[in-house]
Structure 1
Amino acid sequence: MSADLIEAAIAAMAKAYAPYSNFPVGAAVRGAGGGIYAGCNVENAAYPQGCCAEASAISAMVMGGETRIVEVAVAGKGEALVTPCGGCRQRLREFAADDLVIHICGPKGLRRTATLGELLPLSFGPDNLG
């Protein structure tokens, strides 16, 4: 299990800036080189100008010099599973294939694991262009 990745996502959730929704989300991605890059959601009074946690983590990964995601953890509060939104599923697809493992977590840890293919079936990605 990827305890380090899950811990990074939960820690990132605690740093979220969510004064409007009061719904903090954290995400962490593991790059192909082994680096862990975390991000949190950052809201803005001028909706929809905020940024999702997954997009923040992906940006950190790219800034870290990596361009391939091998594993993801997303953490959010509440009883329901907090999975990446549709836009973030497509963002993840840009840097990974359908077999990407996504750990869906709550504040206390892992709730479920799914693949990107399960969350984004019949996806369109870079390989469709060439």
Structure 2
Amino acid sequence: MAQERAACALEPEQVQQLLLSCQEAKKSAYCPYSHFPVGAALLTLDGRIFSGCNIENACYPLGICAERTAIQKAVSEGYKDFKAIAIASDLQDDFISPCGACRQVMREVSKHLSNMADISIFLPLLARTANQTQLAELISQIR
């Protein structure tokens, strides 16, 4: 397992780019009902970044979260191996965390990876700091 962790280590520049990309994606959010923009940026094993934003709908179940938008973009382009995802909102005092549906989709698309536990999730608090966790840790919180 330690060897897999080393293989998935992120360079500081990758983390910075991921954090910038999720903040940029947030600007495209379509959220006329909640007024709560969210952006996500997903890093593939080969270094490509796919971004996404939340897209709301008056028929609530038809909306989609930023994380799933980014994942669907990546998967539809043939990517299924991910290193990390960053998720940004405008919360001032608390980190945003993926909803249960997003956690399940992340698990589903990464379950073939032997290193699912090592997919890093970065939760920036505006531009000041970022909390880092792992997908396996978030999944264990909803059991």
TM bucket by the smaller chain?
Answer: 0.7 to 0.9
Identical amino acids, percent of aligned pairs: 37
Report which stretch shifted further, 11-20 or 93-102. 93-102
Aligned to 1:53: 66
Q: Which residue pairs with 1:82 in the alignment?
A: 96
Correspondence for 1:91 among 82, 98, 105? 105
**Whole-angstrom CA distance in 2 between matches of 1:50 and 1:7:** 24
Helix, strand or coil at the partner of 2:20: helix
Partner residue of 2:77? 64
TM-score (norm 2): 0.80
Q: Secondary structure at the match of 2:61?
A: coil
Deviation at 1:123, TM superposition (A): 8.3
Deviations for 1:26-52, whole angstroms, at most 9, x for unmatched residues?
001111221100000000011121010
Please report the RMSD computed on the Cα atoms of aligned residues, expressed in angstroms: 1.8
Letter in 2 for 1:93: R
CA distance in 2, matches of 1:109, 1:3: 12
Distance 1:81 1:12, change over 3 A: same
For 1:95, what is the secondary structure of its paired residue?
helix
The residue number in structure 1 matching 2:3 is none
Match of 1:24 in 2: 37
- What do the CA deviations read for 1:64-95 (whole angstroms, capped 9, x no partner)? 22111111100011122101111101111123
Higher strand share: 1
State yes or no: 1:104 paired with 2:123.
yes
Q: Which has the higher helix share?
A: 2
Read off the aligned partner of 2:31 and give its amino acid letter.
A
Q: Structure 2 vs 1, CA of residues 122 and 26 (structure 1 numbering), >3 Å: closer, same or farther?
A: closer
For structure 2, the 5+ residue unaligned runs are 1-11, 111-115
Point out the more displaced range, 25-34 or 100-109: 100-109
